[in-house]
Amino acid sequence: MRDEEILIGSLMEESWLTLEQVAAACKVEPDWLVRHIDEGLFPHVESVAGIWRFSGTMLSRARRMRQLERDFDAVPELAALMADLLEEVDELRARLGRPG
């Protein structure tokens, strides 16, 4: 992995996105995210002083889940399960040093 890729990945993981920013990036209403958070489908999202904070990884998860729900009419729980599996595949590929 190149130093540049490590730096970009680290910067994205250290920056936080708000609920509104993630909703806009996913082209959903903020209520969609809140419902999914309440259902426990975003396990690593944090609330600090009443403000939701999303990492870059959670943004990717939200986009995948929204796409699965839209394209396959998947229920939120199934979309979350598929997002978990896709994240695992991405992690394994990264460990093997193979591109997606």
Strand, helix or coil for residue 47: strand
Q: For residues 78 and 56, what is the distance between their CA atoms, to the nearest angstrom?
A: 21
pLDDT band at 100 (very low <50, low <70, confident <90, very high): low
pLDDT band at 44 (very low <50, low <70, confident <90, very high): confident
- The answer, yes or no, to whether residue 1 has pLDDT greater than 50, is no
Q: For residues 41 and 87, what is the distance between their CA atoms, to the nearest angstrom?
A: 14
5 versus 46: the higher-pLDDT residue is 46
**Full set of structural domains in the chain with CATH:** 3-96 (1.10.1660.10)
Residue 37 identity: I
